[in-house]
Amino acid sequence: MNRSSIVAIVIFAAALLALLSIGPQVTRQIQATFFQAISPFLKTGSGLERKITSVRTGLKSLEELEHDNTALRVENRSLKATNEALRDVEHEVNRLRHALNYRQRSLFRLVPAEIVSRDSSTWWRTVTINRGKDDGLASEMPVLTDEGLVGRTTTVSENISVVLLISDENCRVAANVEGTREQGIVTGERVAGSLAPLLDLNYLSKQAELKAGQKVYTSGVGGVFPSGLFVGTIRTFQVRALDSQAKLAPAVDLAKLEDVFVVIGRK
Amino acid sequence: MIFFLLLVLLVFVAQLVEIFLPPLAWMFNAHIYIVPVIVFYGAMALPFPLMLALAFFAGFLWDAMTAQVLDGHVEISFGWSILLYAVLAAIMHGLKPLFNRGRWEVHCVLSGVCTALILLAQYSMISFRRGSLIFNREVWWQIGGPGLLAMLMAPLIFWLLHYLSRLTNNPYLPQEEGFDEYAPR
């Protein structure tokens, strides 16, 4: 081994040890700075992704058109393409109107945000949103849609933030079951084989008698999530040796998230 | 040095591209990882100090992107990915004589194996931290799937990088024929 390699190893080891010894706060600062630095790329990439998706949808419609009417293919293609474009606009208008209504009638002060990217790693379920400290966001703020709870913010930089989804095993939410006194902790699964995984509601009492279809809401215990947010609906329920467990279908389709709200306080 | 800087740039771009690549539903949500393949090529085509620098950069990006700070602790400390990259890249670097003789297929296979090993190491650390070990079909696919994909992508990515290596007159190229048969001269 030559001298330059030894020097390189020493420098590498020193830098690595320095990084390994940093605490959570510094880690968050490094991440926030990093996300801030790459935010233009993320936002541009997100825009491109949406355009590509919309082009793909348009091509599918053309295929359907060819099936429907071969004789008037040319004319139909043009008319249906226009229709498709208008439908996209209509969908967008409806979505935004829906979101605006929810924001107005909500009890919370909400900051609307758009999903910029999702699930960039294998082991953690996160999404990145296009809002940050400049919009009043901070770490550990609940994120939701008009349908229910989505997760909580973790790393927050000036104009971009990371949201840990409720489908992640680390996102624990104190919850209670509608119409009962049962309380438990909702967590995600460590490894999910599908884009819309189920949630676990653990630590229910052994005497619990729950049925599929019952709704689960946040209980407000723990301080991060306010009470009364819809978390999910019970799919299955089983009594175990020491407690009971229920499997929930999340209230929000996490695989199709487009817009979310961050709760920054009460009105 | 130009080639090293080019690899650094490519690692950065690949890391950004990975964010927008959706997980593969038909492979139990396995992700596609391009960065490890680039780093492992760098391990063969760069001298040891630059290989370490590249591994450091790639590991830093990975940790900056994925480290989870929850309830006042970091789940996998910042820096572990750097160490993993460095160790695995050093193993690949040790097999450089094979690459110099034009036997690059071993490195393609190893790129896949090492990519899977990084994920396996991460998963083991997470399991240790969370206090329970779960190994089911989904876990194996999410570890092995990206490795398999990296193995399949490696020949193409290696060929492209080798092409760039020649274009930038990288002085650490293999001396003998074989892998660079079709590369520009």
* A50-97 pLDDT, tens digit each: 777 666 666 656 666 676 667 666 676 666 556 666 666 766 776 777
Asked whether the beta carbons of residue B136 and residue A49 sit closer than 8 angstroms, the reply is no
**Nearest partner of A192 among A174, A153, A165, judged by Cα:** A165
Q: Which residues of B touch A124 (CB under 8 A)?
A: 66, 68, 75
What is the distance between the alpha carbons of residues A255 and A199, in angstroms, rounded to a whole number? Answer: 14
b or e along A107-125 (b: 16 or more beta carbons within 10 Å of the residue's beta carbon)? ebebbbbebbbbbbbbbbb
A267, pLDDT greater than 80: no
What is the distance between the alpha carbons of residues B44 and B88, in angstroms, rounded to a whole number? Answer: 12
Amino acid at A103: R
What is the distance between the alpha carbons of residues A200 and B30, in angstroms, rounded to a whole number? Answer: 22
Mean pLDDT for chain A overall: 83
**Among A48, A120, A173, which would you mutate to test the B interface (most chain B Cβ atoms within 10 Å of its Cβ)?**
A120
Mean pLDDT for chain B overall: 86
Asked whether the beta carbons of residue A123 and residue B126 sit closer than 8 angstroms, the reply is yes
Total CB pairs under 8 A between chain A and B: 124
Picking from B23, B69, B126, the nearest residue to A154 by CB comes out as B69
The whole-number average pLDDT for the span A245-264 is 89
pTM of the model: 0.80
Q: What is the DSSP letter of B94?
A: H
Q: What pLDDT band is residue B179 in, cutting at 50, 70 and 90? A: very low
Does B177 reach chain A within 8 Å, measured CB to CB?
A: no
Read off the pLDDT of residues B28-37 as tens digits, 9 standing for 90 and up.
888 899 999 9
The whole-number average pLDDT for the span A231-259 is 88
**Among A2, A5, A155, A191, which would you mutate to test the B interface (most chain B Cβ atoms within 10 Å of its Cβ)?**
A191
The whole-number average pLDDT for the span B58-69 is 90
pLDDT of res. A191: 75
Does B46 reach chain A within 8 Å, measured CB to CB?
A: no
Picking from A4, A22, A123, the nearest residue to B78 by CB comes out as A22
Q: Which residues of B touch A22 (CB under 8 A)?
A: 77-79
Picking from A117, A169, A170, the nearest residue to B20 by CB comes out as A117
Q: Which residues of B touch A16 (CB under 8 A)?
A: 56, 79, 82-83, 86
Asked whether the beta carbons of residue B64 and residue A164 sit closer than 8 angstroms, the reply is no
Nearest 5°: phi and psi at A263? -80, 115
Provide the CA B12 distance to its chain's centre, in angstroms.
Answer: 12
Q: Name the least confident of A19-28, A105-114, A205-214.
A: A105-114
Read off the pLDDT of residues B124-155 as tens digits, 9 standing for 90 and up.
998 988 888 888 888 899 999 999 999 999 99
Alpha helices by DSSP H, listed for chain A, are: 3-20, 24-68, 73-105
Amino acid at B23: P
Asked whether the beta carbons of residue A28 and residue B69 sit closer than 8 angstroms, the reply is yes
Asked whether the beta carbons of residue A16 and residue B20 sit closer than 8 angstroms, the reply is no
Q: Which residues of A touch B126 (CB under 8 A)?
A: 123, 190
Q: Which residues of A touch B52 (CB under 8 A)?
A: 8-9, 12
B178, pLDDT greater than 70: no
